[in-house]
Structures are given as structure tokens and as C-alpha cells.
Amino acid sequence: MRDRPFHIVLGVTGGIAAYKAPEILRQLQQHGAEVRVVLTRTATRFIGRVTLEALSRHPVVVEMFEPGLNVAIRHVEMAQWADLLLVAPATAHTLARFAQGLADDFLTTLYLSVRCPVLVAPAMDAEMWEHAATQENLTRLHERGVALIPPERGYLASGREGEGRLAEPEQIVARALVILAARPYARDLEGEHVLITAGPTCEDLDPIRYLTNRSTGKMGYALAHAALARGAEVTLISGPTTLRPPPDAQTIFVRRAEEMYRAVLAHLEAATVVIKAAAVADYRPAIFSPEKLKKTDADLTLALHRTPDILAEVGRRKGTRVLVGFAAETEAHLEHGREKLIRKNLDLILINDAASAETGFAADENAGFLVDREGNVTELPRMSKYEMAMRILDRVRDVLARRRSEDPTGDPRSSEGEG
């Protein structure tokens, strides 16, 4: 049980959707949170600070330096106080300043100072939302662990219809509560060494062509960010991806399944937890052509050889480590996932729908079923991959605690036995 309410800083930026900020604030309070508000200068043109001060029962901060608010270094004090920084609405300009690390007002300075989770709810016109610069800024923020409530499609301030409308307050508050649910367990993986694989592998046919899959590495990278946030040491073994790895992780880049296999076994001894989120190619071309294969009028028959089964090999060697796998299925999801859990000697498996455009490969969100060895099934609704990473790590923590209570002298890094 918590001994105090959650502390939330609500950042409000300058867009017409700022009128929804009081409702967001009230709903957070109804869930027991204590809320402080930060307005940008432009936001004060859309929403009055007196209203937000009356509702929050705290002074609303706008300027970096205001008379009567400088006894403490205000942004440092608020950063240490906060359990969550929620920015709703977040304009394209604010997202750009966050992504570039600018600190030219109180909100951006606060963003650079907080060590708590950050959740942004963008709102803007459709063209601004779809612009490549905005999407690049969102990608950069996502890689840093910033959670996103994407805007909805609807009528916009311009009078046109499109994607860019602020998500409803109920959705924003629900997502904030999911993120906050992990906060009582901050640093609960301190002392653990988590080995994570991420991304696809590429199996070369010739210097031009290769076999691969649709994995982008987003889930594995989210797990790396989340494990670091919870105090773990992280080794990330990544296939080819455009994502930036977290700077505090030891990252090893590989290309082929064979390279990932060798890297995993080389770093297995130090790990207490192994999470195999990579989508490893099951087959490779039997022959690599050093020259580009030329097109002819005849059909081409491609011979394939099996690649090493990394997950099965780790399952054989795992000892008392916690081993987590993933099953991307297109039909009979639970049946196939449960069978894989037993066959590969896993402790947990996340089963999801690979065919879903909203939560499948390359999506920013995920959903699925988390199944353990006892057959317990937990349905995980659609959420950001960072939030899902937190939910998976909650269960990893529980398995570690139970295993150590059963054998207090056991070394998770022991490779003896099947686990």
C-alpha cells in the first residue's frame, strides 16, 4: 500500500484543447492523485491559471522566475516531487522542444529534470500531426521511454476532420494510472542482470537480397528501457533496426541468427533473467552467392536450412534463471503459445496477434496474453509497448521472488538442470 497519493505534474501547452485540462485534472484527483499544474505562456491564452489553481489547490507555474516562488529551485523541487509528468495537450512545438532537449521555459526545463515517467497527449491539426518532423520527434521521444496517447480522428479547430484531436480525458487518465501502477516497485530489479534480444535477423541470399521478417525491435527496446528504469543491469542483443539503444545498456549488434545465437550464449552466464523478444529467422539460404543472382526466364528454387533455435537452447541451459519468450501467432493463439511455453521450458510467454495492424509488428502499441507455467492467463489490453514491458517485468519480479523464497541459496546463474 502507498503511504501517500500519487504526485502528478500536469503540463498544459498552447492549443485550443487546453480547455480540457480542468477535466483531466479533476479526474486525476478523483482517483486520489495530487496534481500540480504548469502552463506555457501560450497556454495562458486558452485557459486561465486562476481556474487551475482553484481546482488543484496549488500555485500554477508559468515563468521560470516568479516573485514568491523562488525560495527553492522550483523546477528541481517539482521534478523530485513528481511520480509522473503528464503533458496534455502537447503541441507540435512542445514535442519538438522536448525532442531537441531545449530548456527555454519552465515546462521544458522540468522535462529535462524529471526522472519519473513522462506521458504526452498531442493535439494539433492533421497536417501538423502527419508532418515528417513531428513523427521524427515522436520517434525520438518514444526511444527515450516517453509514453504517448495518440490523438483521435475527429473535427479539429480548423473546421476540418482528421487525426489530431486530443484523446478523451478518460483515456488520458486511464493511461496515466497504468503507468503509475508500476511506480511503487521502482528499482525492484536492482541487482538483476537482464539479457534481452530484440529486432529481426537478416539471412543473406546474395550481396543484395536477404530473408527477414517485419520485426522492428520496438518491444525489445521498450523492455530494455523499462528494465533499466527498474534498476537492472541490461545486456541488449539487437538485430538490424533503426532504433537507438538506451545509453545505459550494454548493446551488441548482430545481423544473422547464428550471430545472435553466439552472442546470447556468450552473455548467458551473467544473466539472471532472459527475455527473448527478437523475431529470429527460422531458416537461412543453404547457399550464399558472393555475386548478385541474375534474373533468368526459369523459376528459382531456393533451398533453406534451419537456423539455431536460440530459445530452446537457453531453455536447456537456463538453470534457475527466469526465461521469457514471445509467440506472434495468427491463429489458435493460446493453444500454440502454451505449447511453445512447455516445449521451450519457459517461465512466461507473451502471446500476441501478429496480424493486427494496431498491435502487431512495427506498431507502437501491443496487446496479448501473458501465460505462466502454472497455466495462469492474464489478458493485457492494448497499451504502449513501454507499459507492456512494465507489466511483463512485474511478473518477472514475482517469479524471481517466489523462486528465491523456495531456494534462498540458489544461484540464478547456475546452468545446471532444466529449471
Q: Which of 70, 137, 213, 352 is catalytic?
A: 213
Nearest-Å Rg of the Cα atoms of the chain is 24
Q: Catalytic residue at 366?
A: no
Q: Rounded to 10 degrees, what is the CA torsion of 368, 372, 375, 379?
A: -20
DSSP, residue by residue, 114-155: --S-EEEEE---HHHHHSHHHHHHHHHHHHTT-EE-PPEEEE
DSSP string, 307-318: PP-HHHHHHHH-
CB 327 within 8 A of CB 340: yes
- Dist. CA 316–CA 194, nearest whole Å: 18
Residue pair 275/194 in contact by the 8 Å Cβ criterion: yes
Distance of CA 112 to the CA centre of its chain: 19
Helix and strand tally (H, E) in the chain?
A: 13, 19
Q: Which residues contact 135 (CB under 8 A, 6 or more apart)?
A: none
Distance CA 113, CA 116 (A): 9
Q: What span, in angstroms and rounded, lies between the C-alpha atoms of 329 and 22?
A: 42
Q: What is the DSSP letter of 347?
A: S
Which sequence positions are flagged as catalytic? 213
